[in-house]
Structure 1
Amino acid sequence: MTIRNKQIITAVVHGSMNTRSAAAHFNVSERWVKELIRRYAFEGETAYEARSKRPKTSPGRTPEATRERIVTLREILVAQGLDAGAETIQTHLETEGISPPSRATIHRILRQADLVSDQPQKRPKSSLIRFEAAQPNEMWQADFTHWRLADGSDTEILDFIDDYSRFLISIRAYRRVTGRNVAEQFAMACDEHGRPQSSLTDNGLVFTTRFTGKTQGDTAAKNQFEKLLQKWDVKQINGSPNHPQTQGKIERFHRTLKLWLTAQPRATSVATLNKQLSEFQQIYNERRPHKAAGRKPPSIRYRAVPKAVPKPLPQEEVRQRNDVVDKDGKLTIRYGGKLRHLGMGRTYSGIRVEMYVNDREVTVVNKKTGEILRYFKIDPSKNYQKAISS
């Protein structure tokens, strides 16, 4: 470009070409020829040099102090084991009184500092369909997860979170979570935060005994937690077998919890771990911004609107039937005034079974061994029913 500029200037200033003919000859605009002549008049041979098209000022550029704070916040949050994405950093900047750039700009700044990498393989958020309770205490999710102490021994951490606000209702570590632990921790959480309208858990034995086949008289036996829910009119909801996505919020919570625990000194005892969990609960509820809570700490959303309360529940009716699987591998049951056929499979032809019927749910148990053979959820629109699990 330097040689071309010199040729254009020479042709006009020292030669016989005017600006229009020079523009046509060198295949450039006449405006550009005039600009070169103007530069030459004021700057001399410096006008030959190529120049950057970058503007002398960048009024839209993020201030350097803000860029440095973005990088520092990212490093601090990662070291603490807390979420450190662009939205979280944006919230922290607002809290500090700094006008934040857009999420895309923050992400670009982090990428330029080699602190993040794009993940195009992630499932698009628009493809996700989520259920969310309409108010606090409408539903609590509960589950437990494993965590190892410094000596390598295992512990189990039981937690309850509010579905609407993601508020961490209760969290505690045990050597092993028992049904008694679940009932006692739930009762203490209710004393502090009020009773929820419903409870969502998986089908673990500490939460439900519906797959054990045990009975008390003509009804299915219940564990301490189930009895407490029934006593307080808290609706019990259990996720579909082999489908953990139903409890997706608490599964995601466990990832956040373990990310934070990994950044802390490894606890040497259950008591030490519980002190860490108490600290985490305060950070998670009161300080950490949560996307689902409008980028505010969950405590703000949990306390912002009135809480739901339990509603009187109808008395549960569990029917028990004895039957034999027919030669075609089917059982029959009447539901909604129609005879329904349950597909057991020919493998079980001739086997004597017990069927526990709770509204649409049917659990089929081997009468001799007590083994759960099939689980059905009646589809009222169909006569033939396929098993959900075996």
Structure 2
Amino acid sequence: MSAGLVRPEPGKRPKASCTRFEASLPDELWQSDFTHWPIATVPGAVVVSRLDDRSRNLLHARAFATVTMDDVQATFLQACAEHGIPARTLTDNGTVYTTRPISAAPGRSERTLALMGVRQSNGRPCHPQTQGKIERYHRTLKQWLSARPLASSIDELNEQLAEFRHVYNEERPHRALGRRTPGEAYRAKGKALPDPELAAGTQTKLDEQRRRETTAGSPGATRRKPIPKDERAEPARADVTIGPGIRRIDRRGCVTQNNIAGKRRIFNLGKHNAGRMAELLIDHGRAVATDLETGEILADQTLDATREYQYRKPANDVNDAPRQM
């Protein structure tokens, strides 16, 4: 560089500046991810794996034709049954692991982890280096599978994965572990444990939520427990009159108005009407929603004073049709 033969790149971060993370105990952190692998009978399989961060011990590996949140949860519970419950998990932001990218409410799998006292971490989007150990493991797995005949079924691939897991954990020394095998490193130290306070706090919140749902008249109870269509009955008409109010139909197809019989009410007018301006009138307990521009009646129904959310009951025949462009 001093001779002018090398172009300086001050914006390029040197590898020496990178901080390498490693859990201090087995089961302190489990990494999980899935990868795709071809088989003869279907376009491909999805292999879900769980790896201990401290020891690189392959805790579980199983192939599916397609993978769902239920499958991911099942693999986690199977790994826990064999190895015990970890303190934390680390995954990417795939929706089979977390609902954070699409919802503020935790998904079923996330609630299961919290109830077990397991804290969940997710890597930064588009930054696979956070889950670097399991990403590197995928390369080893695919090199091993490539050296063997292509599996003819999911079951045969799972047999290959069971063989690979034994070789990877017990026969193959790992350079990052001082030439020990992952299995030896996993068994060399005591294990980290889940957080009982997290489990107890989550259970308390769940019990409180269930109590609210089962308490008559509790806020939000009717929202969480929808009534099946075939069980809905015409509500008793309440003598409530509210002058016309203009609202924009939101992206859910709903309009919301406060202080109708002492409560906020949400009226479903249909998703295909989202973005339209509607006039809502309550006349002696009869709710009528009209398109402000065309005069089309979007809903004509009896107000259900016992519920915040008003089930959709469109006007008959042509008035239920989407607006033609």
Shorter-chain TM range is: 0.5 to 0.7
SS in 1 for 2:35: strand
Aligned mates of 1:196, 1:170 — CA distance in 2: 13
**How far did residue 240 of structure 1 move?**
1.0
**How far did residue 309 of structure 1 move?**
0.3
Aligned mates of 2:51, 2:101 — CA distance in 1: 25
Equivalence map 1:27-66=2 (5 Å):
none
Find out whether 1:284 has 2:284 as its counterpart: no
SS in 2 for 1:129: coil
**How far did residue 210 of structure 1 move?**
1.1
Tell me the C-alpha RMSD between the 2 structures: 2.6
1:188 maps to which of 78, 81, 87: 78
**How far did residue 150 of structure 1 move?**
2.5
Q: List per-residue Cα deviations over 1:131-179 (Å, max 9, x = no partner).
A: 1000000000000000011356111000000000000000000001111
TM-score, normalization by structure 1 = 0.47
Partner of 1:174: 64
Kept in 2: contact 1:235–1:313 (CA 8 A): no
**Cα separation, partners in 2 of 1:125 and 1:263, compared to 1, 3 Å:** farther
Q: List per-residue Cα deviations over 1:342-366 (Å, max 9, x = no partner).
A: xxxxxxxxxx99xxxxxxxxxxxxx
Q: How many residues align?
A: 196
**Which structure 2 segments of 5+ residues have no match?**
1-12, 206-249, 252-273, 276-325
Partner of 2:187: 303
Equivalence map 1:6-21=2 (5 Å):
none
1:209 maps to which of 94, 99, 123: 99
Partner of 1:264: 148
Partner of 1:234: 118
Q: List per-residue Cα deviations over 1:175-207 (Å, max 9, x = no partner).
A: 011111111110111011000000000111110
Equivalence map 1:47-196=2 (5 Å):
126=16, 128-151=18-41, 153-196=43-86
Aligned mates of 2:107, 2:71 — CA distance in 1: 12
SS in 2 for 1:142: strand
Find out whether 1:246 has 2:127 as its counterpart: no
**How far did residue 223 of structure 1 move?**
2.5
Aligned mates of 1:151, 1:175 — CA distance in 2: 10
**Cα separation, partners in 2 of 1:312 and 1:160, compared to 1, 3 Å:** same
Kept in 2: contact 1:155–1:270 (CA 8 A): yes
Q: List per-residue Cα deviations over 1:188-237 (Å, max 9, x = no partner).
A: 11011000000000111110001213xxxxxx333232121011010010
**How far did residue 295 of structure 1 move?**
1.1
**Cα separation, partners in 2 of 1:281 and 1:274, compared to 1, 3 Å:** same
Equivalence map 1:240-389=2 (5 Å):
240-314=124-198, 315=201
Q: List per-residue Cα deviations over 1:47-94 (Å, max 9, x = no partner).
A: xxxxxxxxxxxxxxxxxxxxxxxxxxxxxxxxxxxxxxxxxxxxxxxx
SS in 2 for 1:138: coil
Kept in 2: contact 1:289–1:295 (CA 8 A): yes
SS in 1 for 2:192: coil
Higher helix share: 1
Aligned mates of 1:313, 1:238 — CA distance in 2: 21
Q: Which amino acid aligns with 1:168?
A: L
Partner of 2:212: none
Q: Which amino acid aligns with 2:94?
A: G
TM-score, normalization by structure 2 = 0.56
Kept in 2: contact 1:168–1:285 (CA 8 A): yes
Aligned mates of 1:294, 1:313 — CA distance in 2: 36
Partner of 1:200: 90
SS in 1 for 2:21: coil
SS in 1 for 2:156: helix
Kept in 2: contact 1:135–1:305 (CA 8 A): yes
Q: List per-residue Cα deviations over 1:111-132 (Å, max 9, x = no partner).
A: xxxxxxxxxxxx9864543110
Q: List per-residue Cα deviations over 1:294-346 (Å, max 9, x = no partner).
A: 111100010001000012345579xxxxxxxxxxxxxxxxxxxxxxxxxxxxx
Aligned mates of 2:40, 2:146 — CA distance in 1: 12
Kept in 2: contact 1:166–1:292 (CA 8 A): no
Aligned mates of 1:148, 1:188 — CA distance in 2: 24
Aligned mates of 2:160, 2:90 — CA distance in 1: 26
Q: List per-residue Cα deviations over 1:25-65 (Å, max 9, x = no partner).
A: xxxxxxxxxxxxxxxxxxxxxxxxxxxxxxxxxxxxxxxxx
Aligned mates of 1:262, 1:162 — CA distance in 2: 24
Q: Moved runs in structure 1, 4+ residues, more than 6 A?
A: none
Aligned mates of 1:148, 1:127 — CA distance in 2: 38
**Cα separation, partners in 2 of 1:127 and 1:291, compared to 1, 3 Å:** farther
SS in 2 for 1:192: helix
* Percent of residue pairs identical: 50
Aligned mates of 1:131, 1:306 — CA distance in 2: 19
